[in-house]
Structure 1
């Protein structure tokens, strides 16, 4: 199955992602694809709270500017490529980000213009 997103006016590649929480809660978020993030997913704390996710622990990470930060880690299920997938979620005060961990095994193509098409499909090896 191929997933499609778009490039916004800020030149960010966006994919709408459905996240499942406790008691069959579903939240759809517009997540920015961040190829500089090697984890699965970053979600804002308010989305994590809305989904009722339970903290799993803490993780340190080196940010793009070289600083070290500590993140709360959660587990969530996302709808990915038409199926449920359990992923690791880092909490942040910023918006939702899809990282390279979630994209592993997939091919990402981006038409890098405003309103350009973002295409994610299974990588044929």
Structure 2
């Protein structure tokens, strides 16, 4: 899997498999401080129609713990369909370390350089 560095952020496009629609690719910023799988703004979760699972307590970058809705999504990851948890909060899509577990992440922080996930 590959992405690109933009404005010193590693960005990876992840295809979402949404029933009855063509795959939708959303670009996520790699956030090694986020231990979950994926995070999307609430508006994006609503547009995708991702099914709600449960509210969970999460601690955010500001150190404050608060409830966030956890939704389920099916994505194409490592050439396979994978069901993942998506937190509906924040203002930009983030990919966390839970999804990167058991993979190798290579980033050279030069503008437009390729990000590799093996």
**TM-score bucket (shorter structure):** over 0.9
After superposing on structure 2, the runs of 4+ consecutive aligned residues of structure 1 that deviate more than 3 Å are: none
Name the counterpart of 1:116. 113
Quote how far apart the aligned CAs of 1:23 are: 2.9
Q: Distance between the aligned counterparts of 2:81 and 2:21, measured in 1?
A: 13
Q: Distance between the aligned counterparts of 1:96 and 1:20, measured in 2?
A: 16
Could you tell me which runs of 5 or more consecutive residues in structure 2 were left unpaired when the two chains were aligned: none
Q: TM-score normalised to the size of structure 1?
A: 0.88
- Tell me if 1:61 matches 2:51: no
Name the counterpart of 1:70. 67
Secondary structure of residue in 2 paired with 1:22: coil
Q: Is this contact kept in 2: 1:75–1:89, CA < 8 A? A: yes
Distance 1:58 1:93, change over 3 A: same
Q: Deviations over 1:69-111 (max 9, x none)?
A: 2110001001001110010110014111110010011000101
Could you tell me which runs of 5 or more consecutive residues in structure 1 were left unpaired when the two chains were aligned: none
Quote how far apart the aligned CAs of 1:25 are: 5.0
Q: Deviations over 1:30-60 (max 9, x none)?
A: 1001110000000122221122112111011
Q: TM-score normalised to the size of structure 2?
A: 0.93
1:20 is aligned, of 12, 17, 20, to 17
